[in-house]
């Protein structure tokens, strides 16, 4: 089992930046792909970004590519999401996810472990 705890959410103006962090406990994530998803009110959970077990493969959702950057530190058992040039449409609860697989997937069904989420609100 992996427990995931997100932090770093908050309120920011459009054009600003936030950095989300996800701390894993219970087992090492060095052999696990990691991801970020988000869910806005009334919408389905959306893929944001994912990184393979060794960082060799990274994928981004179309709406965040070029603005967000995912990274991981296996020594610290953490994964981060740097969010720049934030827009009001980025407002959502952001979730960290982990899988026992090494490779990345966009489907929510491919991720076995989820954090509780952290709220990101971008004001216009």
pLDDT given at position 98: 96
Name residues of the chain where pLDDT drops below 70. none
**What pLDDT score was predicted for residue 1?**
87
Query: What is the per-residue pLDDT for 44?
Result: 97
What is the per-residue pLDDT for 39?
98
Q: What secondary structure, in 3-state letters, does the chain show?
A: CCEEEEECCEEEECCCCEEEEEEEECCCCCCCCEEEEEECCCCCCEEEEEECCCCCCEEECCCCCCCEEEEEECCCCEEEEEECCCCHHHCEEEEEEECCCCCCCCCHHHCCEECCCEEEEEEC
């Amino acid at each position: 089992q992996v427990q995931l705890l997100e932090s770093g959410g908050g309120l920011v103006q459009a054009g600003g930046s936030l950095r989300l962090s996800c701390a894993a406990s219970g087992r090492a994530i060095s052999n696990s792909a990691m991801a970020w998803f988000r869910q806005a009110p009334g919408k389905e959970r959306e893929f944001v970004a994912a990184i393979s077990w060794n960082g060799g493969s990274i994928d981004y959702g179309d709406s965040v590519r070029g603005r967000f950057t995912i990274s991981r530190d296996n020594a610290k058992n953490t994964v981060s999401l740097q969010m720049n040039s934030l827009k009001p449409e980025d407002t959502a609860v952001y979730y960290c996810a982990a899988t026992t697989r090494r490779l990345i997937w966009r489907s929510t069904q491919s991720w076995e472990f989820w954090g509780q989420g952290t709220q990101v609100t971008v004001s216009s």
